[in-house]
Amino acid sequence: MADNVQQGIPLLGDKFPEMMVQTTRGKMSLPADMKGKWFVLFSHPADFTPVCTTEFVAFQNRYAKFRELNCELIGMSVDQVFAHIKWEEWIHENLKVEIEFPIIADTGAVANKLGLIHPGKGTNTVRAVFIVDAEGFIRIMLYYPQELGRNMEEILRCVKAMQVADKNKVAMPANWPNNDFLSDHVIIPPATDVATAKKRLEQAKAGEFECYDWWLCHKKL
């Protein structure tokens, strides 16, 4: 297959594609250099653009919160590394924010592997987000058009929710930890056989967790 042929978008649960990348903090091997850590790789259409600038400031302002979750941030666009460095300088000088996380300078190889060029949205990379776990598996993928800036609190929530789900073998309700009727409770995975379904209601009566029915049980961590 020719190198310039766009690859298919990786799927949830796939291993993050291996790649060597040039960043503003030197060369990196992904996902190898992030082994043992979660990371969020996010692409932006271009340096020195208004929406992207607001996003980078927002990510940097929450960088410490991501690190508290053992999660790193990695930016990316098809701009050259020199443009990334100059843009970082501009943000620091004019907005008093120092970008501390690396930004990948992509020649097109990363965009092709991750499916970040969408012809219907132009030739720049779309605003994509890949949340990758400590074992290098893709857990969440989000895509936004160029005209819509991302909500970093939601991305932060996604990382925290997935880590809680993994650790406790539970599912997370809508808007967790502020669900409309479950509040900050988490969901017990539904029963998959008759015996377990009957046992669920018995467990609820015993106070192990709460149930609306055998298929909708929840608990506070």
The residue annotated as part of the active site, out of 52, 71, 211, 217, is: 52
Predicted confidence pLDDT, tens digits, the chain (221 residues): 334 444 467 999 999 999 999 999 999 999 999 999 999 999 998 899 999 999 999 999 999 999 999 999 999 998 899 999 999 999 999 999 999 999 999 888 888 888 887 766 656 777 899 999 999 999 999 999 888 999 999 999 999 999 999 999 999 999 999 999 999 999 999 889 999 998 998 999 999 999 999 999 999 99
**What kind of fold does domain 19-150 have according to CATH?**
Glutaredoxin (3.40.30)
- Cα 202 to Cα 209: distance, rounded to the nearest angstrom: 10
**For residue 116, how many C-alpha atoms fall within 13 Å in the half-sphere facing its CB?**
27
Question: Is 158 among the residues known to form the active site?
Answer: no
The CATH architecture annotation of domain 169-221 reads 2-Layer Sandwich (3.30)
Amino acid at 9: I
Please state, in angstroms and rounded to a whole number, the distance separating the CA atoms of residues 60 and 5.
Answer: 34
The whole-model pTM stands at: 0.91
Domain boundaries, the chain: 19-150, 169-221
Q: How far apart are CA 193 and CA 86, in angstroms?
A: 59
Nearest by Cα to 163 from 36, 69, 74, 39: 69
